[in-house]
Structure 1
Amino acid sequence: MDPVTAVAAAGVALVVKGALESAGQEAGRSGWAGGARLVERIRTRFRGHSDAEDALERVAGAPDDESARQTLERQLAAHMLLDSAFEAEMRRLVDEAVAAQGRGGAQISAALIKNAQVFNGKVEVRGDWTTS
């Protein structure tokens, strides 16, 4: 996965996370502050581009819609490729949002990361562990 696509995928995962948390009334959690800035920056960048705006609204309204997420990812990647300053800002905002989420302890949400590359630190498992 190329770097722009990876950042776009992570950005979409954060948009989905925000939509799910808003629906669950968890948007006030400290980890979401960086994600909220990311969503607002995407919304500002997409303003005036109806296809991109529609893609963002579809994901906000139906975060479980895989087709909507893929469309948003393509729109976000396209805008990042067209504007290197926007790409750099997306990288920074994604990094900040991910770092803020990590402050509460390690956690992985497979529903959000799906095909994205995930880099994490050392993992230790203790006790009985059964896999199937």
Structure 2
Amino acid sequence: MDPITAAAAAGVALLVKGMLESAGQEAGRSGWAGGTRLAERIRARFRGDNAAEDALVHVQQSPDDEDAQEQLRRMLQVHMLRDHEFETDVRRLVDEAVAARGGDGAQVNAALIKNAQVFNEKVEIKGDWNIS
């Protein structure tokens, strides 16, 4: 998975997690402050792009809708490819939000991103390793 796709997937996953936490009255957790900044930056970048704005609204209305999440990820990825400064901002905000949530990045990636493979650090494997 290329870095832009991975960052877009992580960004959407963090937005969805924040929306679900907010609905469960857990928005006060330290990590969501970074998620809020991410949401604001995405909203500002999408302004004027009706399809992108609609994708964001759909995820806000139905955070569990995987099709809506995929559409938002695609819109985010397109905007990141078009605007290098926006791409840099999204990556930075995702990194900050993940760091603020605590724990190791692998735990966040596995729990939030599901099928995406994102590695932010060196990966070490010890012992026997079989791939089938």
Q: Normalising by structure 2, what TM-score?
A: 0.83
Matched, 1:53 2:53: yes
Identity of aligned residues (%): 70
Aligned twin of 1:27? 27
Query: Which residue type is aligned with residue 31 of structure 1?
Result: G
Structure 2: runs of 5 or more not aligned: 124-132
Alpha-carbon spacing, 1:43–1:91, altered in 2? closer, same or farther (3 Å): same
Cα displacement (A) at 1:28: 1.1
Name the counterpart of 2:73: 73
Q: Counterpart of 1:11?
A: 11
Distance 1:114 1:57, change over 3 A: same
Aligned to 2:84: 84
In structure 2, distance between residues paired with 1:3 and 1:60: 25
Size of the aligned set, in residue pairs, is: 121
8 Å Cα contact 1:19/1:61 also seen in 2: no
- Structure 1 unaligned residues grouped into runs of 5+: 123-132
Equivalent in the alignment of 2:40: 40
Q: 1:116 offset after TM fit, Å?
A: 2.1
Q: TM-score, normalised by structure 1?
A: 0.83
Q: Which residue of 2 aligns with 1:129?
A: none
